[in-house]
Amino acid sequence: MVKLSKKIVEDVAVEVAGEEVLPLVRSIQKKSNISEFLIAKSIKMEINPTRNLLYKLYNANLVTYNRKKDKVKGWYVYYWTFNPQRAKFLFHDLKKRKIQKLEERLTRERKGFYYNCSNNCIRLDFERATEFEYKCPECGNILCEDDNKKRIEFIEREILNLRKEMQTN
């Protein structure tokens, strides 16, 4: 099994739970069965926001937990473990989704005709441009046909880069 780089694991976590999850992931990534209270303390965050981040990671199966009842206080304490195998799967799944969306966008760009406002207020497809009688609904300027060759090339490069990234990881 190919080991994922730290950056890829962090990118997946950010994609799933947002930028604020990074300190938490760094804190638990190479440990197992860590108390949620210790996690909160190590990342200098209150327990409730820490739990919210853990639940986001849990919903993506990036973490697992064990629950044990505190005999003194009577409440449950959760012990969390990071799941790196799931990060690898999610990495490929997220890349596949991005490629699919880019391919759909590429198809639309190749088939459609688009019109831009000279002030770059808005970009409309043929149908919408005719609805507005080729006038910008924002500023009233005449819409010009968009030369989308560079946009198509950019999308094609993005797709190629994502495919290469998937193959190397």
**Would 101 be classed as within a structural domain?**
no
Both 23 and 63 in one domain: the answer is yes
pLDDT(119) > 50: yes
pLDDT-above-70 percentage for the chain: 98
Which pTM value belongs to this model? 0.68
> Using one digit for the tens of pLDDT, what is the confidence trace for 124-138?
999 999 999 999 999
Look at residues 20, 28, 31, 25 and name the one whose alpha carbon lies nearest to residue 7: 25
CATH of the domain at 15: 1.10.10.10
Domain with 147 in it: 112-168
Domain final residue, candidates 87, 122, 149: 87
3-state helix, strand, coil in the chain (%, to 5): 55, 15, 25
pLDDT-above-90 percentage for the chain: 70
> Using one digit for the tens of pLDDT, what is the confidence trace for 57-105?
999 999 999 999 888 888 888 999 998 888 888 988 989 999 999 999 9
Both 122 and 63 in one domain: the answer is no
Angstrom distance (rounded) from CA 169 to CA 167 = 6
